[in-house]
């Protein structure tokens, strides 16, 4: 079956070999269909023509003039060499300026002729300027000037340098359309089009490029977004089905003595109902015969460790070993300490700790015991991933702060078992639902959405430099009450030009305000060796330093209940989720805690919104939604490291949550009856899904 959309793009009139190569390299456009799936990122109204005298400021993004050329001159030399064209429309004069392609433009512009001029206005000494505008003759043959709403396409510098600007792209799209129209095959099954009341593909492609009106454009966008998100959801969910079919899970059928003894005798407090619910969800997975792959989201301090411990005891009760991996030594130690303390001496559960600094003798013995099945719970860092670490029967793996590990690293841990163990990945970085559905779409998600009782929400204030003395006075007050303080800086070394406080300057100021020997200030920053960092952190943990001055290295899970104040310097430079993480370091004890956001007086609108949100709410999910609205999904923590797994052409995860939910539902409905999309009637959907195959999920492509 040949589809016109699959034809190579070089056959589109106006493209040819050379441009085809460029289009592929720059925009990934290989086929005619790719060209038609290059959507305008906005539209301009080419029906409106401005008078030059009307333009009083540069608030408009684009304007269109109809004006006559009065003078034309090349001025300047070297990089300043430019073509200046003076035009007039009777109401006033404007200057058009070109720095590039002078000869080409000069040839195309004639004195005294009238042109439609289109570009971004700026005022320069009161004169209206347009740099590199589009210019078209209003007369004669070959005039392509057509009033109407027109798409603006994304270009790149190499494209523009080769005379493929947004308008050229529009022309190429027009040409492609002429070849394709009447031969475009629908990509969605009729039932789905009907059920979700979607525009057909032909009309959608037409209207996305040449919108007839607002309503049609909206319907076209909806259809194309739905298609895009449906393809991704089908891909993710079909892969998940495949994984489930391939991997039978260990069946943990009993909740036995270890769990019960601990639960009834050792638990120092009642579980929150969120913790109970999550433990139930995990138990159900563990007993189902399916291999569990679950993401546990829970705000800092929500009690994820306890959930990990209780569920590891279930693994033990069923005769399997369990392991928990943390991203830093200090966290691994923290887990080890709290787990052994919670279990107590008499539990009979054999817990061990393995990190990079475990002594050889201890390590050798430990590895032997591990392989002999004499260790029940192994706590550790990346050191767990080394080849010589062998378990006797690893049945359950917990990964804390999962975003700190690469996909491959995580996978290495579960390869240590002949059969894939049950997996729980935990994160304190709340991820908006829409993002989670896409980023972690093949994981089941549990959420702890409730804090243990008795916690006082952290009080947050936003100060600027004029409040610095007040801030220091407050710190003194708290420290003199016996509490400890974090002060966090965004960077270690600043570039000269910027006036942000840096850690070193800040250190001098703080030591001056809190001089030895009465006060001790400990510094920890990202460029220090891990061992030195841990040493410094431990000093603070033991209460031997009053102030911990740090770059954001303390972000992850450290627990110092006595610390009651978090000061964040140049807070405007942190993202919302990072600010939230940092704030989560305090408020872990019984005392009222405080977070002080220091910023410069002058702030961008976005920074102000971020800091205001921090003052207004302590809800991590609310903040993560807002972060996504403000910055777009690409910057939300958790995606920075791995990047977005899918490139979206038209849908937006921050804005199209509702469409995503619909697409998700549609995907689930289809896959329920046909888990791997193998039925003949689902071949269209299968194709849609496979557009999203990546390196990581090549498994799924292999079964076709």
Output the smallest distance, CB 603 to ligand ADP, in A.
30
Among 152, 271, 383, 644, binds ligand ADP (CB under 6 A): 271
> Which part of the chain contacts ligand ADP (CB under 6 A), choosing from 25-33, 158-166, 227-235, 302-310?
302-310
Task: Name the pairing type of β-strands 42-45 and 149-152.
Answer: antiparallel
355 binds, among ligand ADP, Mg ion, none (CB under 5 to 8 A by kind): none
Nearer to ligand ADP, 351 or 428 (CB): 428
Member of 8, 256, 356, 452 binding ligand ADP (CB under 6 A):
452
Report the nearest approach of ligand ADP to the CB of residue 588 (Å).
Answer: 6
Q: Which of residues 15-44 bind ligand ADP (CB under 6 A)?
A: none
Task: Round to whole Å and give the CA distance between 299 and 458.
Answer: 13
Please give the Cα distance from 70 to 89 (Å, whole number): 10
Both tokens of residue 565?
């104040």
Which tokens go with 431?
A: 């991820």
Distance CA(185)–CA(236), nearest Å, equals 25
Distance CA 339, CA 307 (A): 11
Dihedral through CA 129, CA 134, CA 138, CA 144, nearest 10? -170
- Please list every residue from 418 through 447 that binds ligand ADP, using CB under 6 A: 428
* Cβ neighbours, 10 Å, residue 188: 22
Tell me the torsion sign for CA atoms 296, 272, 301, 629. positive
Binding status of residue 621 toward ligand ADP by CB under 6 A: no
Q: What's phi and psi for 291, nearest 5 deg?
A: -80, 125
> Which residue from 133, 211, 249, 298 is in contact with ligand ADP, where contact means CB under 6 A?
298
What SS3 state is found at 337?
A: helix
Best CA proximity match to 483, nearest among 549, 567, 562, 541:
562
According to the binding rule CB under 5 A, does residue 303 interact with Mg ion?
A: no
Choices 65-73, 88-96, 267-275, 500-508 (CB under 6 A): range interacting with ligand ADP: 267-275
- Which does residue 275 bind out of Mg ion, ligand ADP, none, counting CB within 5 to 8 angstroms by kind? ligand ADP
The residues near 584 (Cβ < 8 Å, ≥ 6 apart) are 299, 300, 301, 428, 620
Binds 559: which of Mg ion, ligand ADP, none (CB < 5-8 Å by kind):
ligand ADP
Residue 539 neighbours by CB under 8 Å, 6+ apart: 522, 545
Regarding 301 and contact with ligand ADP (CB under 6 A), the answer is yes
Query: Least distance from C-beta 554 to ligand ADP, angstroms?
Result: 14
- Which is nearer to Mg ion, 133 or 557 (by Cβ)? 557
Give the number of residues in contact with Mg ion, rule: CB under 5 A: 1
Among the residue ranges 72-80, 304-312, 564-572, 662-670, the one whose residues contact ligand ADP (CB under 6 A): 304-312
Helix, strand, or coil here: 673? helix
For residues 507, 509, 513, 519, the Cα torsion angle rounded to the nearest 10 degrees is: 10
| Span from 126-134, 249-257, 303-311, 431-439 in contact with ligand ADP (CB under 6 A) | 303-311
For residues 166 and 43, what is the distance between their CA atoms, to the nearest angstrom? 11
Cβ atoms within 10 Å, residue 132? 16
Contact window for ligand ADP (CB under 6 A) among 244-252, 268-276, 481-489, 653-661: 268-276
Q: Which does 298 bind (CB under 5 to 8 A by kind): Mg ion, ligand ADP, none?
A: ligand ADP
Q: Which is nearer to ligand ADP, 306 or 370 (CB)?
A: 306
The CA distances from residue 415 to 327, 366, 384, 397, in Å, are 18, 20, 12, 11
Interacting span for ligand ADP (CB under 6 A) from 300-308, 356-364, 501-509, 599-607: 300-308
Can you read off the two tokens belonging to residue 108? 């195309």
Q: How far is the CB of 301 from Mg ion (least distance, A)?
A: 8
Residues from 536 through 575 that contact Mg ion (CB under 5 A): 557
Query: Which of Mg ion, ligand ADP, none has residue 301 at its interface (CB below 5 to 8 Å by kind)?
Result: ligand ADP
Query: Which C-beta is closer to ligand ADP: that of 211 or that of 557?
Result: 557
> Which residue stretch of 271-279, 318-326, 507-515, 568-576 sits at the interface with ligand ADP (rule: CB under 6 A)?
271-279
The torsion defined by the Cα of 6, 10, 14 and 20, in degrees rounded to 10, comes to 110
* Stretch (H or E) spanning 482: none
For residue 30, give the 3-state DSSP assignment: coil
CB of 268 to Mg ion, least distance (A): 17
Residue selected from 559, 564, 599, 624 as contacting ligand ADP according to rule CB under 6 A: 559
Residues binding ligand ADP (CB under 6 A): 269, 271-272, 275, 298, 300-306, 428, 452, 557, 559
Residues binding Mg ion (CB under 5 A): 557
């Amino acid at each position: 079956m040949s589809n016109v959309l699959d034809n190579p793009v070089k056959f589109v009139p106006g493209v040819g070999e050379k441009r085809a190569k460029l289009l592929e390299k720059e925009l990934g456009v290989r086929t005619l269909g790719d060209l038609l799936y290059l959507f305008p990122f906005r539209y301009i109204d080419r029906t409106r023509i401005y008078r030059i005298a009307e333009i009083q400021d540069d608030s408009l993004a684009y304007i269109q003039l109809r004006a006559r050329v009065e003078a034309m001159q090349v001025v300047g030399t070297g990089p300043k060499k430019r073509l200046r064209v003076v035009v007039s429309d009777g109401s006033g004069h404007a200057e058009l300026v070109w720095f590039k392609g002078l000869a080409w433009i000069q040839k195309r512009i004639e004195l005294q002729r009238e042109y439609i001029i289109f570009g971004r206005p700026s005022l320069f000494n009161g004169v209206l300027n347009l740099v590199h505008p589009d210019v078209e003759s209003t007369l004669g043959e070959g005039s392509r000037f057509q009033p109407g709403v027109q798409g603006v396409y994304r270009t790149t510098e190499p494209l523009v340098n080769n005379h493929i600007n947004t308008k050229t792209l529009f022309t190429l799209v027009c040409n492609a359309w002429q070849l394709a129209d009447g031969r475009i095959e629908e990509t969605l099954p009729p039932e789905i089009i009907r059920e979700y009341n979607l525009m057909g593909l032909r009309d959608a492609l037409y209207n996305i490029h040449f919108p007839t009106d607002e309503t049609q454009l909206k319907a076209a966008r909806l259809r194309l977004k739905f298609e895009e998100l449906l393809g991704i959801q089908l891909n993710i969910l079909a892969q998940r089905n495949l994984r489930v079919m391939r991997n039978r899970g260990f069946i943990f059928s009993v909740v036995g003595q270890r769990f019960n003894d601990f639960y009834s005798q050792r638990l120092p407090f009642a579980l929150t109902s969120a913790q109970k619910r999550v433990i139930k969800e995990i138990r159900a997975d563990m007993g189902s015969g399916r291999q569990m792959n679950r993401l546990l989201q829970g705000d800092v301090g929500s009690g994820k460790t306890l959930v990990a411990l209780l569920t590891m005891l279930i693994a033990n009760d069923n005769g399997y070993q369990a392991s928990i991996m943390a991203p830093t030594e200090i966290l691994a130690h923290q887990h080890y300490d709290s787990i052994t303390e919670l279990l107590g001496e008499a539990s009979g559960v054999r817990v061990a700790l393995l990190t990079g600094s475990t002594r050889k003798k201890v390590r050798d013995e430990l590895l032997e015991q591990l392989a002999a099945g004499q260790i029940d719970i192994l706590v550790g860092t990346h050191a767990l991933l080394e080849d010589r670490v062998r378990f006797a029967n690893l049945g359950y793996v917990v990964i804390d702060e999962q975003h700190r590990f690469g996909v491959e690293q995580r996978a290495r841990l579960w390869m240590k078992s002949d059969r894939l163990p049950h997996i729980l990945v935990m994160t304190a970085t709340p991820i908006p639902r829409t993002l989670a559905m896409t980023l972690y779409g093949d994981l089941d998600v549990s959420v702890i959405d409730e804090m243990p009782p008795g916690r006082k929400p952290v009080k947050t204030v936003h100060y600027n430099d004029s409040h610095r003395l007040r801030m220091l006075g407050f710190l003194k007050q708290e420290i003199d009450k016996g509490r400890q303080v974090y002060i966090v800086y965004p960077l270690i070394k600043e570039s000269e030009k910027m006036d942000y406080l840096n850690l070193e300057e800040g250190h001098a100021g703080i030591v001056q305000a809190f001089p030895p020997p009465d006060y001790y200030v400990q510094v920890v920053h990202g460029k220090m060796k891990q061992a030195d960092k841990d040493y410094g952190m431990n000093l603070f943990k033991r209460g031997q330093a009053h102030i911990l001055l740090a770059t954001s290295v303390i972000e992850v899970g450290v627990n110092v209940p006595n610390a009651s104040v978090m000061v964040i310097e140049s807070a405007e430079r942190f993202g919302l989720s990072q600010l939230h993480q940092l704030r989560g370091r305090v408020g872990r004890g019984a005392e009222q805690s405080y977070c002080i956001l220091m910023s410069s007086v002058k702030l961008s609108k976005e920074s102000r919104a971020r800091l205001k949100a921090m003052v207004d709410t302590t809800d991590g999910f609310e903040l993560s939604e807002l972060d996504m609205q403000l910055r777009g999904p690409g910057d939300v923590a958790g995606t920075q490291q791995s990047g977005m797994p899918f490139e979206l052409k038209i849908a937006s995860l921050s804005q199209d949550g509702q469409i995503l939910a619909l697409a998700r539902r549609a995907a689930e409905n289809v896959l329920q009856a046909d888990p791997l999309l193998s039925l003949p009637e689902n071949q269209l959907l299968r194709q849609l899904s496979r557009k999203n195959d990546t390196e990581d999920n090549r498994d799924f492509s292999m079964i076709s």
